[in-house]
Structure 1
């Protein structure tokens, strides 16, 4: 399972631990990923996604999964999230 947010594409970053003596050793900054269940109002079903905490706050701020995916760029989304976005667009066009 990759350490990448399915909604924002946020992934692992690399940097240095710097000691008091200014010695530098490589380290990894891991994203704060959570397994969450988000509900789509247009499709009337829920989806399990691996999402960063900041993305979860953004989904809440924008008014739910449907509104978030409508504004999200396709390049940031995982293939699963992209399929959900297309399904939501179809359901909203039909309604």
Structure 2
């Protein structure tokens, strides 16, 4: 696990705990406190899971599409092609 993912997990976890415990300290009926705490917990978990899975999908190593010219092996594809020379130093004096 990368440090950034670990760090985000801690932040999301602490925020979820605060959002869940805070409504339990309010001076409202017990059923309202429990309902608000459960709603906050479910929203915090959904945000944390969706954000971490999105970050994980974004940092996967993927091959570029379409393949670039540099990625192709020229000796396999076209053995008759001469190597490309730098034209700035070709045949002249400085």
Q: Same fold (TM over 0.5)?
A: no
Larger radius of gyration: 2
**Normalising to structure 2: TM-score of the pair?**
0.26
Higher RCO (CA < 8 A, seq sep 6+): 1
Q: What is the TM-score normalised by the length of structure 1?
A: 0.25
